[in-house]
């Protein structure tokens, strides 16, 4: 197993300031311990949250910052107390890498709601070292916060599932929607999270309507992703005809938008589930909720347990992400394109193929 006492150097691509421009950065991994695994990173997905973080959109960014929280890699070393994995395993690491393990959410296995959770990057670990993400050649992580990638699932396909996939899977299962075939669901926004929403909801037996501001993604939604209907939110006639027709809406839009038009689409007791990270207040008038006993709620990624369930579900149903694989030296261009929604539907960085350790 080798010594776990030795600090290791690794190379990632980091942002140094709110310009968000990433460039090679060499740093020391935190000290490893008995319950840690050392991972050689294979690939890492790009999430819209990565842009928010590198550009300090949420006002809490610390630099230098290596982003990336859809991490897939190979276990190359395990600590003496590790029981969950063995060397050679293909594993995934998502948005968080630590929690208090004693609060109510942690005891209930929904550690993503722990107030003392530790983010995969732009945070500080228990040893005082900054956490850095998956746009790097290697990572040390507590075994609790890694998941086994199912045999036969391609690493680049698994990466987006660790955030985009579980972000949709968690509320569908938590609110009991996954157990009711024939529900009518709406997916608002057809990006990385939205396209996984269509695939997962369809696999659960739901009638799925994609809601978008224009018809430019209509063919993609219906013919390629398998949605049942397509609704243009800027078309007042279409919206009026679709009123009171949906059991739930998964709102993936990560920028400010009015909620009233979408609340009108919900049936009695319908749910609007917020998922986009937005740094400005959203607005609605209370009768839009009261007169249909509707609920506006939110959901945040998913737990380790839910991530494991979701990976097995996707593997069983043959659900894959629609991705574009790029090398690390394309990362800044990929961020620019993601801001313009110019990707179908998730970028995944081929980390191992980018040979980061040769950049030092």
**What's the CA gap between 71 and 162, in Å, rounded?**
8
Encode pLDDT of 166-204 as tens digits: 999 999 999 999 999 999 999 999 999 999 999 999 999
In contact, 69 and 123? CB cutoff 8 Å: no
Assign 32 a pLDDT band (cuts: 50, 70, 90). Answer: confident
Q: Does residue 349 carry a pLDDT above 70? A: yes
Q: What are the structural domain ranges in the chain?
A: 9-148+322-359, 164-298
- pLDDT, average across residues 41-60: 94
Distance between CA atoms of residues 195 and 188, nearest Å: 10
Measured CA distances, 344 to 52, 217, 255, 311 (Å):
20, 10, 19, 21
Helix (H) or strand (E) holding 211: strand 207-212
Give the contacts of 297 (CB within 8 A, at least 6 positions apart). Answer: 171, 175, 271, 272, 273, 274
How many CB atoms lie under 10 A from the CB of residue 62?
13
In 3-state terms, what secondary structure has residue 23?
Answer: strand
CATH homologous superfamily of domain 9-148+322-359? Medium-chain alcohol dehydrogenases, catalytic domain (3.90.180.10)
| Cβ atoms of 238 and 206 closer than 8 Å | no
Tokens standing for residue 72: 């897939």
pTM for this structure? Answer: 0.93
Tell me, what's the pLDDT at 278? 86
Average pLDDT over residues 207-233: 96
List of long-range contacts for 22-26, beta carbons under 8 Å, 24+ apart: 22/54, 22/67, 22/135, 22/331, 22/332, 22/335, 24/356, 24/359, 24/360, 25/64, 25/66, 26/360
Residues 6+ apart with CB under 8 A from 156: 43, 72, 323, 325, 348, 350
- The reply to whether CATH 3.40.50.720 applies to domain 164-298 is yes
Alpha-carbon gap, residue 217 to 222, rounded angstroms: 9
Strand ranges for 34-171 from DSSP E: 36-45, 70-78, 90-93, 96-98, 118-119, 123-124, 130-131, 138-142, 146-148
CA distances from 53 to 17, 68, 335, 354 (A): 10, 10, 12, 23
Residues 134, 355, 328, 43: is their CA dihedral positive or negative? negative
What distances in angstroms separate CA 313 from CA 107, 144, 239, 286, 308, one per listed residue? 24, 20, 33, 37, 9
- The per-residue pLDDT for 359 is 61
* Ramachandran quadrant class, 186 (left: phi over 0; alpha: psi -120 to 50; beta: rest): beta
pLDDT digits over 246-293, tens only?
999 999 998 899 999 999 999 999 999 999 888 889 989 999 999 999
Name the token pair of 183.
């529900």
In angstroms, rounded to a whole number, what is the distance separating the alpha carbons of residues 255 and 275? 11
Distance, in Å, from the CA atom of 296 to the CA atom of 263, rounded to the nearest integer, reads 9
The answer, yes or no, to whether residue 319 has pLDDT greater than 50, is: yes
């Amino acid at each position: 197993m080798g010594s776990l006492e030795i600090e290791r150097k690794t190379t990632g691509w980091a942002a140094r300031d709110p310009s968000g421009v990433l460039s090679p950065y060499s740093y020391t991994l935190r000290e490893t311990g008995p319950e840690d695994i050392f991972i050689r990173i294979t690939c890492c997905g790009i999430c819209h949250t990565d842009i928010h973080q590198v550009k300090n959109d949420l006002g809490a960014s610390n630099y230098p910052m290596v982003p990336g929280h859809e991490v897939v890699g190979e276990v190359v070393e395990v600590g003496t107390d590790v029981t969950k994995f063995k060397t050679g395993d293909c594993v995934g690491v998502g948005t968080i890498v630590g929690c208090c393990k004693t609060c109510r959410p942690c005891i209930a296995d929904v550690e993503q709601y722990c107030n003392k959770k530790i983010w995969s990057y732009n945070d500080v670990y228990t040893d005082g070292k900054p956490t850095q993400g998956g746009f790097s050649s290697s990572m040390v992580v507590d075994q609790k916060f890694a998941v086994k990638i199912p045999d036969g699932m391609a690493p680049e396909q698994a990466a987006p599932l660790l955030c985009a996939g579980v972000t949709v899977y968690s509320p569908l299962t938590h609110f009991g929607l996954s157990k009711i075939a024939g529900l009518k669901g709406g997916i608002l926004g057809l990006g990385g999270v939205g396209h996984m929403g269509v695939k997962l909801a369809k696999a659960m037996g739901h009638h799925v309507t994609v809601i978008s501001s224009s018809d430019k993604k209509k063919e993609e939604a219906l013919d390629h992703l398998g949605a049942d209907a397509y609704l243009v939110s800027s078309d007042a006639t279409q919206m009026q005809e679709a009123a009171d027709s949906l059991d739930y809406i998964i709102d993936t839009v990560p920028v400010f938008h009015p909620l009233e038009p979408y609340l009108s689409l919900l049936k009695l007791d319908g749910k609007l589930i917020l998922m986009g990270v937005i740094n400005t207040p959203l607005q609605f008038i209370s009768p839009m909720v009261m007169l249909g006993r509707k609920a506006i709620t939110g959901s945040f990624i998913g737990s380790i347990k839910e991530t494991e369930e979701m990976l097995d579900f996707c593997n069983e149903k043959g659900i894959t992400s629609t991705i574009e694989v790029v090398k690390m030296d394309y990362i800044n261009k990929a961020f620019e394109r993601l801001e313009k929604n110019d990707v179908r539907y998730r970028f995944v960085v081929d980390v191992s193929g980018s040979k980061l350790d040769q950049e030092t």
